[in-house]
Amino acid sequence: MVFSIPQCELNTPWPAQVKTSCPECAAELAVLRVIPGRAAEYWTMRCVGCGGIHLDVVDTPLT
């Protein structure tokens, strides 16, 4: 069985609410995917140090 690692999105603007370093090892986080929603975006990130996956929920302004 072969697993593929998703590629990170480059040059993604980071909102102030999103973590930029891993809470477990303090290494940099790379964005894997940003999933839009009605009232929030879901940011999935991978730590470049320990490989952990982290999710941040970012409130988006209602228009």
- Please write the tens of the pLDDT for every residue from 6-41: 555 545 566 666 778 898 999 988 888 989 888 888
The answer to whether the pTM exceeds 0.75 is no
The yes-or-no verdict on residue 53 having pLDDT over 90 is yes
pLDDT number for residue 4: 52
Long-range contacts, stretch 27-32, CB < 8 angstroms, 24+ apart: 29/54, 32/6, 32/7, 32/8
pLDDT number for residue 47: 92
Distance, CA of 40 to CA of 9 (rounded, Å): 19
Provide the token pair at 24. Answer: 């477990």
Q: How far is CA 52 from the centre of its chain?
A: 11
